[in-house]
Amino acid sequence: MHAFINFIMGPMVWISFLIFFIGTIFRLYKMFRLINKTEKFIFSYMSLKYSLRSIFAWLTPFLPVSTRKRPVFGGVSYIFHGLLFVLPIFLLSHVTLLEESMQWSWFTLSDSVAAGL
């Protein structure tokens, strides 16, 4: 069992990072190749300024028209996605792994609270 845990906390972490980065680079390559082959009209209007403005608008609760039309659905959606990204930081198992490997520790949520959220 100890050898398995050492494998998961050692080489498997680097293997999963490697798969993630290779997959991300591959998908970006395919996306940019597709952009060059498809409609030039749509992509000629894409700019960093308007892309960042759109991302900021969607990250701000109740700024997009769709979330103002259905505020309950919009609010639940923001809470769900916020918990989806924040909850793993406070899971007991994740904090324990970080404490054992790097001596970092902070407040944790119990497994039942985390499952409920």
Cβ atoms < 10 Å from Cβ of 117 = 13
* Residue 20 confidence (pLDDT): 96
- Reduced to 3 states (helix: H, G, I; strand: E, B; else coil), residue 109 is strand
* Residue 15 confidence (pLDDT): 94
52-83 residue pLDDT tens: 888 888 888 888 888 889 999 988 988 999 89
User: How far is residue 29 CA from its own chain's centroid?
Assistant: 20
Which residues lie closer than 8 Å to 87 by C-beta, 6 or more apart? 109, 114, 117
84-114 residue pLDDT tens: 988 988 888 888 888 887 888 888 888 888 8
Alpha-carbon distance values, 112 to 59, 74, 90 (Å): 29, 26, 13
pTM over 0.85: no
